[in-house]
Amino acid sequence: DAGVIQSPRHEVTEMGQEVTLRCKPISGHDYLFWYRQTMMRGLELLIYFNNNVPIDDSGMPEDRFSAKMPNASFSTLKIQPSEPRDSAVYFCASKGNNQPQHFGDGTRLSIL
Amino acid sequence: QQQVKQSPQSLIVQKGGISIINCAYENTAFDYFPWYQQFPGKGPALLIAIRPDVSEKKEGRFTISFNKSAKQFSLHIMDSQPGDSATYFCAASKGSNYQLIWGAGTKLIIKP
């Protein structure tokens, strides 16, 4: 079992640039979650999908953030334009029906 | 009413001692209470979970105690070891297929 795979592991970019984070969930899992973790705000749920359909995006901070899940094995979180306050660790997690969430190792994003 | 309040924020325990982390919730509709463990550079991983039909669940050195009337639950780590040093998150949800409401996390340090 490969687990949830996130890429890149680290991303450093300048303010104003577009950032795309990628996630490959565990095969067979039908829920996918995007989280953001910071020291100040802890672990925040941004959006989650069920069967590739966005169910709740109320945690997405602004229109600069967007997430897609074009198929069951891939999801992206995009920030455009990026700002320094977007610097955080972004986690993707997936789960099967009545199963716990399994997290990837995260993408550490730094916006200069 | 959606909050889960976790305490303490940080905890230092001597090797061999008992570590206790507490969480409180308000929404009586919550019926799934997991604890996650996170090591630096890694995503959170499920440690142990409980449903409100039992007052205690034990897995090895880890025990969840649940008090439904007080709307509180706690994690006890017996014979704490340096390898237990991590950040611990409690969470709650209405059923295991709903989004988790997360506590703020507790950074646990076990001193050798």
Query: How many other β-carbons are positioned within 10 Å of the β-carbon of residue B102?
Result: 24
Q: Which pLDDT score is estimated for A106? A: 97
Give me Rg for the CA atoms of chain A. 13
Is pLDDT above 70 for A1?
no
Q: How far apart are CA A23 and CA A33, in angstroms?
A: 10
Give the distance from residue A65's alpha carbon to the nearest chain B alpha carbon, in angstroms: 20
Q: How far apart are CA B103 and CA B23, in angstroms?
A: 7
Give the confidence band of B97 by pLDDT, cuts at 50, 70, 90. confident
Q: Which of A75, A101, A102, A96 is nearest to A20 (CA)?
A: A75
- Whether A96 and chain B come into contact, CB under 8 Å, resolves to no
- Whether B74 and chain A come into contact, CB under 8 Å, resolves to no
B89 contacts A106? CB cut-off 8 A: no
The mean pLDDT of A88-96, rounded to a whole number, is: 96
B49 contacts A100? CB cut-off 8 A: yes
pLDDT tens per residue, range A28-83: 999 999 999 999 889 999 999 999 999 999 999 889 999 999 999 999 999 999 99
pLDDT tens per residue, range B22-68: 999 999 999 999 999 999 999 999 999 999 899 999 999 999 999 99
Provide CB contacts within 8 A for B60, sequence distance 6+: none
Q: Which pLDDT score is estimated for B62? A: 97
Q: How far apart are CA A111 and CA A7, in angstroms?
A: 16
CA angle A33, A23, A89 (to 5 degrees): 70
A105 contacts B49? CB cut-off 8 A: no
Q: How far apart are CA A101 and CA A92, in angstroms?
A: 10
Is pLDDT above 80 for B1?
no
Provide CB contacts within 8 A for B109, sequence distance 6+: B10, B11, B12, B13, B85
Is A108 in contact with A101 (CB distance < 8 Å)?
Answer: no
